[in-house]
Every structure is written in C-alpha cells, then in structure tokens.
Amino acid sequence: MSEKKTLAGIAKLIMGVAGFWIAVALVLPWMQTLPVIRPVMDIIIAADLDANQYFYTQSEETFTAQSHMRSGIRRSEQ
Amino acid sequence: MSGQSRQPEIVVDQAKWEWSELYKKEDWWAIWLGIIILIVGLIIFLPRPPADMDQKIAQAQRTMQAEDARAPFHTLEWHRANDSFSGLRARNESHGKTIAKWLATPARWASNPMEALILTEARAAEIREGAKEKHAAAQEKTKAALAQAEADQAAAANAAFQNTELNKKAEGSISQWRSARSAESRARSQTGTQAYNKIPYLFGIGVIFMLFFAAGTTVMNINTANFIKGFGFVFLLAIISEIIGANSTLRSWGFGPLIWAILGGMLIANTIGTPQFIKDAAQTEYFIKTGLVLLGAEILFGKILAIGLPGIFVAWVVTPTVLVLTYIFGQKVLKMESKTLNITVSSDMCVCGVSAAIATAAACRATKEELTIAIGMSMLFTAIMMIALPTFIVSVGMHPVLGGAWIGGTIDSTGAVVAAGAFLGETGMFVAATIKMIQNIMIGAIAFGVAVYWCAKVDCVEGQTVKKMEIWYRFPKFVLGFIAASVVFSIMIEAMGARGDVMLDQGVLRGFSRPCREWFFILAFASIGLTSNFREMAKHFTGGKPVILYVCGQSLNLALTLLMAYIMFFLVFPDITASL
C-alpha cells in the first residue's frame, strides 16, 4: 500500500471511530431522554436488566420464570 | 500445512466421503473440541454438588407444592422456597467461581472504560461507601414491604383464600416486597464491591484458546504459525468489543459486543486493511461451528414444557409458519437473488435473532456479509421493538399475559424480551421470557431442517434428484454435533430431574460451556469483521430487499403471534391465564 493510501486509510479509521463515539456518547444517551423512550429505559436501568443477552441461558430471568410458570400451570390443573 | 491458506467465503465440502475428514475438516474439529469442553465441564461439576443439595431440593419442592395447593397465588413461603431452590447452583461453589473468574468478560462501566479491566481499591472503596446509604434505605423499604405482605397474606389466609379482593391485595403486596427485595439485593452487592484486575485472566484465557484452536490448524489447511501470530490481534479486537459492549448505555439498548466486533473489524478491514497473517487467524467458520456445538448443549427440550400447551402453540406453530412464509415471500415476491440471505434473515427475524442467524447461516453456508446483514438488522429492529411494543401494549391496556406472550414471540433477543416484558410487570416479564426460551429451543430443529433442505433441494442443479448418500456427503457435519449435544444434555437433565437444573443447567452449561461459547462467538464475529468487504455487503442492499423482507416478515409475525396468543391464552386455556 502506498503512503498516500495508508494515510487515507488511517484518516478513514479515525473518522469511523469518531462516528462510533458520537453515537455511543452523545446520540444514544440523548435518545434515552426522549419522552417515548424514557419510561422503558427507566425500568431497564432500575431493574439492572441487560438487553444484550441473545440466548436464554444468558438470562437468569428465564430460569426464575420457568418455576413460576410451572407452578402456575400446576395450580390451574388442581 | 499450506502457506496458501486464504479463508474461503463459504465452507465447501467435497461431494464424497473420506475418513480423513474426521481429522482434517473444521466441521469435525468443531465437534471434537465441543465434546472436549462438555466432557471437561461434566468432570469438573458433576462430582461436586452443593452441600445438602438433595435435602434442600426436596424441602423446597415440598413447600412449593403445598403452597400451590393452599393458595391461588404465590405466597411468601412459596417465594422463599423457590429462592432457596434457585440459589442452589453448582457454579456458585468455589470451583465454579474460579472458572467464572477465568472466563469472565470485561466488567460493566458507565463513564470510565478502564473500569472494564481494572478497578482500584480506592475506587472500589468509593463505590462501597456510596452504596452504604442506598443499601440502608433499601433494607428499610424491604422490611416495611415484608410487614405489609405478611399482614395482607394473613388476612387472605383468615378468609381461607376465598376472598378475591383480599387475595389480590396480598398478591400485590407480595409483588412489591419482591421488587423491594431485588432492589435491596442490588444495593447490597454494590456494598461488597471489590477491587479487580482482569488483564492477567484475559491474557491467560487468550493463550489457552489460542493453543486450543491451534491444535486443529496443524492438520487442517491453515497456516499454524500465522494463526498463532494473528490470534492475538483477533482476541484483542474481541476484548475491545467486549469493553465497548459493557458500556451501561449500550447494554440498555441491546447493542452488545458482537455488533461492535463486526463493526470494529470491518472498519479496520475497509480502511487500513487486514494483514494476511491476521486473516489466517480470523477463522470465522472454525470458531462459529465450535461455538454452535456448545450452543446445542444449551438447547434443552424439557424447557418447552415450562408454559404448557398455550406456550408451545405460540412458539412452535407460529414461528415455523412465519419462517416458511417469509422465505417464500422473499423468493417469489421480492425475488431475492440470494436464497441463503433470505433464509438467514427470515430465521433471525422469527426465531431468536443473533443465535438463530448464526446457526442458520452456518447450516446453509451463507457468506459472512449475509450473516452480518441479518445480525445488524436484527439488533437495530430489536432495539426499536423493545421500546415500541411494551409502550403500545400498556397504552391500549392489554392483559399482561397476552402482552408478554406477544413480546416473547416477536422480539428477537432474550435480553430485549426480558427488558420489554419488565415494563408489563412481573407476570408479563415471566410469560415473555418463557415464550422466548421455548422459541430458542427451536434453533436446533430449524438448523437441521435448513441443512437437509439445502443439501437436497437448493445446492443442486434444478430438476436434479439428489440421492440419500449425496445428502450425507454435502451435509454440514457440525450440525450432527450440535444436535447430538442437544439430545444428550436434554436426556441427562430430564433423567436427573431438579438435580439436573442445579448441576447441569446451573453448573456445566451456565458455569462453563456458555462462557466458552460466548468467547468463541465473539472471536468469530471479530473474524467476520476483519475479513468482510463493504462493497460485497452493499450489493445485497440493492433495492432494500433485506429490509423489506424483515419488515414484512415481522409484520406477519406480529399479527399471527398476537392472534395465536389470544386464542390460546384466552379462548382455549383461560384457566392457565388466570393462574399465572
């Protein structure tokens, strides 16, 4: 790669990182304050929930939910 | 070993069987490595149960069954018994905690990213001091809520639990006590904040994973020297992505480390370029398939019984119906050029987002760019739906069981489902989480079905009849390991009963194989980013077809899931709904 191309690549990389930073540090926190979004975010933050989890074994809530549901079904059968 | 070990865009199996495949192909290496991890997990956890486990399980089960028979709601005694059962976890034993320390990803942070790796004693003391007052206030709240709950439950019990008003009041007070107790527990954990330095553990686990995967490269067509040299960079990118994804704002939005690994890798690859020796270490298929074999062990069929027939109908009837219809829509109406992109997007949209996309893409041999598109759209739409769906449900006054089932059946990822369900209260969250869990179990069946369909119908000349043996030759073999792990662990956990939950679910799986699997996936996604091309990806977006497919499929999913949930929970099984 020529020096010119390398410099252009580095400049693009810095711009990309800056774009990510703006999204993470400015745009998303601002969006959390919007009236439509805030109530849901308040609950997520207060309950310390992790919306990142993409499979049920990552979530303790699914384990707890399982016994609650089984008990509910058991009661409906009685 | 060849120096010409450029990673192929897709895995191409030869249409014949050779025994050497068992040690030369990454599909089989993924199976062997997955099996090794699962066996090691069993050896570590099974001989070391928590003290008095059987007695504690029996006591908790007796109490819960007695309370189920005594009252029409979950009493204080039921919750205490359930908490004591849930607290029994093989991974909470000393060996489990040691493993957790080694396999842990960077910690959560809010304003200082360095806290993801190092927390000084001074800062830990500051957090502990700041949490003391909060904890004391939370303790007072819990005490008051418990006193109220005890009084209301006693009043309901005096009426022999026959007075609906009193039952409802007691149930509400107990629910408030539970919330106060959770808040207290969170405050208490902050008062115990300890200093840490994760760097030595991350370095150690990086070296272990490098040697673990390098073993396979010595016999596969991968340059081992380059793999060892480049692995450090791939692992470093994975750690940086984990640090970004551990930011509290991003966690709340559901933008996890996987998407940052892809974006970070792509940014490097498409600006300064990825050097060849790093490309040799960026073995996407190898990491993903090993991770998928481990994911198979987490697909436990007994879980589908958790919410009975209504849940099974919502998750197991609507999901495959929407999957097939969306795929047909993509082929016949949108005329999508790539069938693999079509099925990957369809499956991630209607099964369970990222994990379904990974499994389906590997089963049909989609390209890295196609998997990236599917996952990127899934994360974006999940964040939107996580806000929009619960807001709509509450604003129209929908029943929490119906709302929870709707959320669980339509939002892509488990974390977002729990977050959205929490907006509806405890019942809504539990229904949503359970439906999602049942839907997650479908990944195995979907991946197997897609693999067979692709071998028999798609990967052949039009009109050609494929012989049974040809299907075997073309079949992605790692799927066998994925299915076998699922079947073996499902049988084991059912045979062990409640002990299985403690020793396997809360031990081998959540304590060992899952954290390993998460590392393998993040390595795979860093590799995808490092070897992806923006131009290739842009081609797939011509005419916005993937977005149209996602939006149309999700609209159908929303309509059918709501209809099926209403029919099942309100018309066919209203008794179950009343008891939840």
- Residues B89-110 have pLDDT tens digits of 999 999 999 999 999 999 999 8
Instruction: Give the pLDDT confidence score for residue B15 in this predicted structure.
Output: 61
**pLDDT exceeds 50 at position B570:** yes
Of residues B579 and B174, the one with the higher pLDDT is B174
Smallest CA–CA separation between B453 and chain A, in Å? Answer: 25
Residue range B26-55: average pLDDT? 95
C-alpha span between B576 and B564 (Å, rounded): 15
C-alpha span between B386 and A39 (Å, rounded): 12
Q: If phi over 0 gives left and psi between -120 and 50 gives alpha, with beta otherwise, what is residue B300? A: beta
C-alpha span between B21 and B62 (Å, rounded): 52
B467-522 pLDDT, tens digit each: 778 888 888 999 999 999 999 999 999 999 899 999 999 999 999 999 999 999 99
User: Are residues B391 and A52, on separate chains, in Cβ contact within 8 Å?
Assistant: no
Minimum-distance CB partner of A36 among B85, B186, B391? B391
C-alpha span between A41 and B253 (Å, rounded): 8
Alpha carbon distance, N-terminus to C-terminus of chain A: 75
pLDDT band at B126 (very low <50, low <70, confident <90, very high): very high
B56-68 pLDDT, tens digit each: 999 999 999 999 8
Minimum-distance CB partner of A24 among B182, B247, B383? B247
Smallest CA–CA separation between A30 and chain B, in Å? Answer: 10
* pTM as predicted: 0.91
User: Are residues A54 and B352, on separate chains, in Cβ contact within 8 Å?
Assistant: yes
Instruction: Give the pLDDT confidence score for residue B2 in this predicted structure.
Output: 39
User: Are residues A56 and B429, on separate chains, in Cβ contact within 8 Å?
Assistant: no
Prediction ipTM score: 0.90
C-alpha span between B160 and B186 (Å, rounded): 35
User: Are residues A63 and B414, on separate chains, in Cβ contact within 8 Å?
Assistant: no
On chain B, the residues whose CB falls within 8 A of the CB of A17 are: 267
B284-298 vs B199-217: helix crossing angle, rounded to 10: 110
**pLDDT exceeds 50 at position B13:** no
User: Are residues A70 and B306, on separate chains, in Cβ contact within 8 Å?
Assistant: yes
Task: Convert B139-154 to b/e letters by CB count within 10 Å (16 or more is b).
Answer: eebbeebbebbeebbe
Minimum-distance CB partner of B306 among A29, A66, A76? A66
For B425, counting Cβ atoms within 10 Å of its Cβ (0-12 exposed, 13-18 middle, 19+ buried), the class is middle
Residue range B16-41: average pLDDT? 90
pLDDT band at B356 (very low <50, low <70, confident <90, very high): very high
What is the Cβ-side half-sphere exposure of residue A20, based on CA atoms within 13 angstroms? 19
User: Are residues A71 and B74, on separate chains, in Cβ contact within 8 Å?
Assistant: yes
C-alpha span between B402 and B284 (Å, rounded): 40
Chain B interface, best mutation among A56, A71, A75, A76, by max B CB count within 10 A: A56
Q: Which amino acid is at B510?
A: R
Tokens of B442: 């479908």
Residue range B398-402: average pLDDT? 94
Instruction: Give the pLDDT confidence score for residue B522 in this predicted structure.
Output: 96
